[in-house]
Amino acid sequence: MTQAQAPVAIGAQVQTRRRARPQLGGIAVNTVLIILMILWAIPAIGLLVASFRTAAATNESGWWTAFTPPWEFTIENYEYVLGRAGIDQAFINSFVITIPATVLVVMIAAFAAYAFAWMEFPGRNVLFVIVVGLLVVPLQMALIPILRIYSNFDLVGTFPAIWLAHAGFGLPLAIYLLRNYMGSLPSSLIESAKIDGADHFTIFTRLVVPLSVPVLASFAIFQFLWVWNDFLVALVFLGYDPANRVLTVELSDLAGRGEGSLNLLPAAAFVTMILPLIVFFSLQRFFVRGLTAGSVKG
């Protein structure tokens, strides 16, 4: 709310702003942005408020009425969701799926990206273009053939099945981003290390990986959010079996039960969002920096 007063102090503050900043905008610019921010925030705020209201209140009136007396808030919804709907199990499942799937793809992609960026071999560009091209394979199309492979190896409904699948699906984007970043490292650095007698293993572990931490971290966060929020892959490879459900499948199941759970859904939705939001807020700066490094040349 204090943001709305920003235009008042502009004149005095201009000199202290960062150099790269063009002149501050007028009331129109501020108004447009604030309207957009409100539009973007309303859906999530509505859900947050609804998650703290009773079933009766949610069925009878909108979330905005909660701000007028009587202020009736409750944590019952969260208690129910965390206690009975099997969400604690799903939370652990989501976690157990997400971490290995992220580690696997980042490491394999880092090897490949290093080879694409700093090794000479025939067909390098063609192969890289094919890898980038695989970005567009529709995921849904890959599911059944993979299911068939998995059933040959008795992997259907197991966690390795979903670790490996997520790693495979994440690879094209990972290789693309990491190779762009690694390729932009100064070649003089790599060459001088070679002259000093360093082999590829040393250059990779001591030089390239430490220098690529921003992009490795940002992709890891990206993959983390993606796997955590994934619904389809988990549904197909793990199924509706309650012991196997991840958070998104659990939430979708709860949503399918209809009007009776109108008060529970918002709470359940927020439970699924907690970890991504923590990851997002704590690592946001990292995420944004690394993501833009590969695609934008300054």
CA angle (237 as vertex; 259, 162 as ends), nearest 5: 115
Question: Residue ranges of the alpha helices (H) in the chain?
Answer: 10-13, 27-50, 55-60, 76-83, 87-118, 124-133, 139-152, 159-183, 187-195, 200-202, 209-211, 213-229, 232-238, 247-256, 264-295
Residue 194 is a binding residue for another protein (CB under 8 A): no
Closer residue to another protein (CB): 44 or 75: 44
- Tell me, by CB under 8 A, how many residues bind another protein: 123
From 69-77, 93-101, 188-196, give the range in contact with another protein by CB under 8 A. 93-101
Show the tokens assigned to 64. Answer: 């905005």
Minimum CB separation of residue 101 from another protein in Å reads: 9
Minimum CB separation of residue 74 from another protein in Å reads: 17
Please say whether the beta carbons of 207 and 189 come within 8 A.
Answer: yes
Show the tokens assigned to 53. Answer: 């209201």
From 69-77, 190-198, 278-286, give the range in contact with another protein by CB under 8 A. 278-286
Show the tokens assigned to 114. Answer: 């290093």
Among 156, 168, 211, 214, binds another protein (CB under 8 A): 168
Residue 167 is a binding residue for another protein (CB under 8 A): yes
- Radius of gyration for the alpha carbons in the chain, expressed in angstroms and rounded: 24
Among 11, 67, 71, 119, binds another protein (CB under 8 A): 119
Closer residue to another protein (CB): 85 or 175: 175
Among 11, 12, 22, 196, binds another protein (CB under 8 A): 22
Residue 217 is a binding residue for another protein (CB under 8 A): no
Angstrom distance (rounded) from CA 151 to CA 28: 60
Looking only at residues 223 through 242 of this chain, which bind another protein when binding is defined by CB under 8 A? 225, 228-232, 236
How many angstroms separate the Cα of 135 from the Cα of each of 119, 131, 149, 228?
23, 7, 21, 20
Which DSSP category does 134 fall into? G
Residues 6+ apart with CB under 8 A from 254: 85, 261, 264, 265, 268
Residue 185 is a binding residue for another protein (CB under 8 A): no
Residue 188 is a binding residue for another protein (CB under 8 A): no
Among 56, 75, 149, 189, binds another protein (CB under 8 A): 149
Residue 140 is a binding residue for another protein (CB under 8 A): yes
Show the tokens assigned to 201. Answer: 């293993």
Angle formed by the axes of helices 213-229 and 87-118, nearest 10°: 140
Residue 210 is a binding residue for another protein (CB under 8 A): no
From 55-63, 66-74, 77-85, 190-198, give the range in contact with another protein by CB under 8 A. 55-63
Among 66, 85, 87, 164, binds another protein (CB under 8 A): 164
Residue 260 is a binding residue for another protein (CB under 8 A): no
Residue 19 is a binding residue for another protein (CB under 8 A): yes
Residue 137 is a binding residue for another protein (CB under 8 A): yes
How many angstroms separate the Cα of 203 from the Cα of each of 55, 64, 124, 170, 210?
60, 58, 20, 25, 10
Minimum CB separation of residue 114 from another protein in Å reads: 7
Q: Is the dihedral of CA 123, 173, 105, 236 positive or negative?
A: negative
Among 155, 171, 220, 238, binds another protein (CB under 8 A): 171
